[in-house]
Amino acid sequence: MARLVIDPVTRIGGHLRIETSVSSGQVTDAWSSGTMFRGIELVLRGRDPRDAWVFAARTCGMCTGVHALGSVRAVENALRISIPRNARLIRNLLAGTGFVQDHVVQFYQLQSFDWVDVVAALEADPAATAALAKTQSDHPLATVEYFRGVQSRLQALHASGQLGLFAQGYWGHPAYALTPAQDLLLVAHYFEALDWQRTLMRIHTLLGGISPHAATFLVGGMAVVPPWGGPARASSGEHPQQVDRKSPDALSATGLKDIGDIIDITRRFVDQVYAPDVALLARAYPEWAAIGRGRANFLSYGEFPENDAGDAWLMPAGRVMDGDLTRALPIDESGVAEAVVHSWYAIAGDPAALTPPAQGETVPAYAGPALPLTTLEGADRYSWIKAPRYQDDAMEVGPAARLLVGYAGGTGDLRSRVDAAAALLGGEPAALASTLGRTVARSVEVQLLVSRFTDWLRQLEANLASGDLAVADVTKWDPGSWPSSASGHSLGEGPRGAVGHWMSIADRQVDTYQIVDASTWNASPRDGQGRRGALEEALVGTPLSDPDRPLEILRTVHAFDPCTACAVHAYDPTDRGPIGIRVSPGGAR
């Protein structure tokens, strides 16, 4: 039995080390290790609760809005604040475009080179690629000249001997199964996706003021101010005191029209490029719908509130246990707890016990193995990631989990979307929770979201036009109005899955703060009973055709879209790197 280590895993968020045992061409056991401690939960203590979101957002540069939203909601829950309708819709549009950008970028920029051989694209016939593109959609960039141009750019890069971003890939690996024409098509779309996301993120610069790290979150609502008299009055799109500048007010007629136009561009790219490419990949790699299955426990906290009461979501809350898709069980925050028995944390009492986040602590205590790290084999504690459990069970979270919870819960539109995805995966909805299925699940969610954006925008326009210009409830803005102590939490969903924030306020300051992120769930180490986390479980059984180039392991890891920056949430200010640990590069960029 061989021990195979990938450290760091690249094309993810944060620092992740994967160790596996390999025997007879298959992974027989796996250990997921977050190798960077950040301690945002400690940074948050003593802050003004109204400022907490700004710090929480810095948990991650990719998932920034997810944690900003999780934080304002937790403080609103603690102070019993309800937000106005306009704020709910603006938050849905901001968070929704974040999901769409994240999923599409994850596919092209982070994941596609596990499936697409960039060097093989040099062998492609541009005419064959153009013909292939025309069978996929009406996307206008489908000419022979266009693909010849992309190939020339790639050829120049390759001839320079410096593949840059594409260096150190496992090019020529026997597990690559696309034709050269398919490879070239997806490489062309890799570049197009970079341009497209720049356009999409203008929605964030309009509604969030900046991207990333949107600046308009507010405890009580959103700091996005409608023009005097609502959008109709400012028909020119200009605020009465408008000074000369390039962007209109987001909530002016011009601003809302701009957002609508960007939504149309987004939908076209999704329909003509992204969704067909995911389908192409699914047809080329059908065996991967059976690989990477986990324990089949799925959790979703629910996201995109569709009413002001906050009890109906586009993506429903619930959980599915042991793959039983006939029913979704209800969930609430009291089911969530974390163990640190295999993590580098100190805790008073039994480390194998599960501690609810409201009582959680973050006391970093690195406990070996000796450095420099060569293997975690035999190490009892092996990660900076804690082990969250729902009523004692390890859960998978993320797009596949959300869709399966929605399917089991029986929502009509979601059920038909899942059935269509299942057909692409060989028939059964459960296949969504596989290495290929998790990738297809992102595409299903992107299509679901772009189908909702226009309606959310119309609702926002109509509500502003009706004279309701409220964007925030600031009646509790004065800390003098707060109780001497309060506690709150939020359960929501980010692109990578279920995100919970738990906080308490004492003497007008943040007293305790705990985050349990999506990747904390998925990249969790073992718990007190020795049970693996979702990613560890999914890796068992992964085939390996060339152990020196573990491409197949990367496929299963990347399908989870891990973000360990989020999962661990101090850094060592000396030049020794992440506390106590040196990492040596390995694996493909």
Find which of Mg ion, Ni ion, none residue 187 binds, CB within 5 to 8 Å per kind: none
User: How many chain residues interact with Ni ion (CB under 5 A)?
Assistant: 6
Tokens of 283: 């047809």
Q: Nearest 5°: phi and psi at 369? A: -70, 175
**Residue among 147 and 384 whose Cβ is closer to Mg ion:** 384
**Residue among 70 and 318 whose Cβ is closer to Ni ion:** 70
Find which of Mg ion, Ni ion, none residue 63 binds, CB within 5 to 8 Å per kind: Ni ion
Cβ atoms 492, 509 nearer than 8 A: no
DSSP lists the bridge partners of residue 338 as: 355, 388
User: How many chain residues interact with Mg ion (CB under 5 A)?
Assistant: 1
Convert 52-74 to b/e letters by CB count within 10 Å (16 or more is b).
bbebbbbbbebbbbbbbbbbbbb
**Residue among 501 and 549 whose Cβ is closer to Ni ion:** 501
Q: Is 74 in the site for Mg ion (CB under 5 A)?
A: no
CA separation for the pair 266, 287 (Å, rounded): 31
**Residue among 317 and 503 whose Cβ is closer to Mg ion:** 503
Rounded least distance, CB 251 to Ni ion, Å: 29
Q: What share of the chain is helix, strand, coil (3-state, %, to 5)?
A: 45, 15, 40
CA separation for the pair 497, 517 (Å, rounded): 8
Find which of Mg ion, Ni ion, none residue 562 binds, CB within 5 to 8 Å per kind: none
Rounded least distance, CB 38 to Ni ion, Å: 11
Q: Is 563 in the site for Ni ion (CB under 5 A)?
A: yes
- Between 144-159 and 180-200, two packed helices, what is the crossing angle to 10 degrees? 90
Single out the segment in contact with Mg ion by CB under 5 A; choices: 209-217, 218-226, 514-522, 535-543: 514-522
Q: Cβ atoms within 10 A of the Cβ of 143, count?
A: 15
Q: Which residues contact 442 (CB under 8 A, 6 or more apart)?
A: 103, 106, 107, 278, 399, 495, 561
Cβ atoms 257, 247 nearer than 8 A: no
**Residue among 62 and 401 whose Cβ is closer to Ni ion:** 62
Single out the segment in contact with Mg ion by CB under 5 A; choices: 101-109, 139-147, 315-323, 511-519: 511-519
Rounded least distance, CB 353 to Mg ion, Å: 16
Give the strand pairing for 16-23 and 509-516. unpaired
What are the distances in angstroms from CA 264 to CA 91, 217, 537? 19, 25, 40
Rounded least distance, CB 388 to Mg ion, Å: 8
Place of tokens 């070996």: 368
Q: Is 581 in the site for Mg ion (CB under 5 A)?
A: no
Place of tokens 């039995």: 1
Q: Cβ atoms within 10 A of the Cβ of 131, count?
A: 13
Q: Give, as ranges, the residues between 54 and 73 that touch Ni ion (CB under 5 A).
A: 60, 62-63
CA neighbor of 453 nearest in space, from 273, 207, 149: 207
**Residue among 280 and 516 whose Cβ is closer to Mg ion:** 516
Rounded least distance, CB 517 to Mg ion, Å: 7
Rounded least distance, CB 14 to Mg ion, Å: 13
**Residue among 293 and 558 whose Cβ is closer to Ni ion:** 558
CA neighbor of 327 nearest in space, from 408, 410, 411: 408
Q: Is 40 in the site for Mg ion (CB under 5 A)?
A: no
Rounded least distance, CB 497 to Mg ion, Å: 14
Find which of Mg ion, Ni ion, none residue 341 binds, CB within 5 to 8 Å per kind: none
Cβ atoms 425, 440 nearer than 8 A: yes
Single out the segment in contact with Mg ion by CB under 5 A; choices: 147-155, 400-408, 429-437, 508-516: 508-516
Q: Is 440 in the site for Ni ion (CB under 5 A)?
A: no
CA separation for the pair 345, 343 (Å, rounded): 6
Rounded least distance, CB 255 to Ni ion, Å: 29
Find which of Ni ion, Mg ion, none residue 566 binds, CB within 5 to 8 Å per kind: Ni ion
Rounded least distance, CB 514 to Mg ion, Å: 5
Q: Which residues contact 96 (CB under 8 A, 6 or more apart)?
A: 304, 449, 452, 453, 456
Of positions 340, 515, 523, 538, contacts Mg ion by CB under 5 A: 515
Of positions 8, 13, 357, 587, contacts Ni ion by CB under 5 A: 13
CA separation for the pair 11, 500 (Å, rounded): 25
**Residue among 142 and 515 whose Cβ is closer to Mg ion:** 515
**Residue among 318 and 360 whose Cβ is closer to Mg ion:** 360
Rounded least distance, CB 474 to Mg ion, Å: 30
Find which of Ni ion, Mg ion, none residue 563 binds, CB within 5 to 8 Å per kind: Ni ion
Q: Is 63 in the site for Mg ion (CB under 5 A)?
A: no
**Residue among 147 and 502 whose Cβ is closer to Mg ion:** 502
**Residue among 107 and 407 whose Cβ is closer to Ni ion:** 107
Rounded least distance, CB 301 to Mg ion, Å: 15
SS3 126: helix
**Residue among 204 and 569 whose Cβ is closer to Mg ion:** 569
Rounded least distance, CB 538 to Ni ion, Å: 19
**Residue among 102 and 249 whose Cβ is closer to Ni ion:** 102
Q: Is 315 in the site for Mg ion (CB under 5 A)?
A: no
Q: Cβ atoms within 10 A of the Cβ of 427, count?
A: 11
CA separation for the pair 191, 94 (Å, rounded): 24
Of positions 193, 256, 340, 566, contacts Ni ion by CB under 5 A: 566
Cβ atoms 475, 30 nearer than 8 A: no
Q: Is 94 in the site for Ni ion (CB under 5 A)?
A: no
CA separation for the pair 44, 26 (Å, rounded): 43
Rounded least distance, CB 60 to Ni ion, Å: 3
Kindly list the residues in this chain that would bind Ni ion in the complex (CB under 5 A).
Answer: 13, 60, 62-63, 563, 566
Kindly list the residues in this chain that would bind Mg ion in the complex (CB under 5 A).
Answer: 515
